[in-house]
Amino acid sequence: MAKETKTLDTLFHDTLKDVYFAENKIVATLPKMHDAAQSKQLKDAFSKHLAETKVHVQRLEEVFKIISKKPEQKTCDAIMGIIKEGSGVMKEYEGTPALDAGLLSAAQAVEHYEMSRYGTLRTWALELGMKDAAKLLQTTLDEEQATDIALTSIATKVVNQNAEKAA
Ligand SMILES: [Fe+2]
Ligand SMILES: [Fe+2]
């Protein structure tokens, strides 16, 4: 039996569903990370990124619209794994000086995952001739990168020092 022909637009649609699942999971997870964080700077960073992430969900819905599909989620094992590791850190390091460092590392893993997905989707959108979709995806990619940089700055300034001080 001949295999169904799968083209780049099928792959684009599938990956869009994967990232849509991931962003929705992140919206559900960031409040828990905010509550667990000890430093105010880190709490503020999580709050800010929660607001941005809600917009990321909306932008993906706009991209679904551009390809005339309804927004749909497809389980993303990668983000489930990253979030599971983050929950493990929250439990294992609860009440310890290293907790924030652990939360930062989990959050940066999430950002890097998102950056890789958005970079890919943006490139595919351009290849498929969808400039408006590429622009939306690039805007989110820029915000993920800015968040990653902000988290690095918090890590070097505050959290890692605290973890070391208490050692
Ligand atoms: Fe995002
Ligand atoms: Fe993000």
Number of other CB atoms surrounding residue 48 within 10 Å:
14
pLDDT of residue 163: 67
Q: Where are the alpha helices (DSSP H) in the chain?
A: 8-36, 40-66, 77-92, 99-127, 131-154, 160-165
Q: What spacing in Å lies between the alpha carbon of 152 and ligand 1's midpoint? A: 17
Q: Is residue 114 part of a domain?
A: yes
Whether 166 is covered by a domain: the verdict is: no
Report if residue 47 sits inside a domain.
yes
Q: Which residue segment(s) compose the domain that 23 sits in?
A: 8-159
CA 70 to chain centre: 21
The CATH number of the domain holding residue 49 is: 1.20.1260.10
Number of domains in the chain: 1
Distance of CA 75 to the CA centre of its chain: 14
- Residue 49 CA to ligand 2 center (angstroms) comes to 7
DSSP 28-54: HHHHHHHHH--SHHHHHHHHHHHHHHH
Low-confidence ranges of the chain (pLDDT < 70): 1-3, 160, 163, 166-167
- Tell me what pLDDT residue 161 has: 72
The tokens of 151 are what? Answer: 């988290």
Look at residue 88 and tell me if it is in a domain: yes
Cα–ligand 1 centroid distance for 158 (angstroms): 24
Phi-psi region of 49 (alpha: psi -120 to 50; beta: other; left: phi over 0): alpha
77 within some domain: yes
The pLDDT assigned to 97 comes to 87
Ligand 1 ion local residues (Cβ < 5 A): 53, 56, 114
CA 132 to ligand 2 centroid distance, Å: 21
Q: How far is CA 148 from CA 5, 31, 49, in A?
A: 38, 18, 10
| Residue 95 backbone zone (phi > 0: left; psi -120 to 50: alpha; other: beta) | left
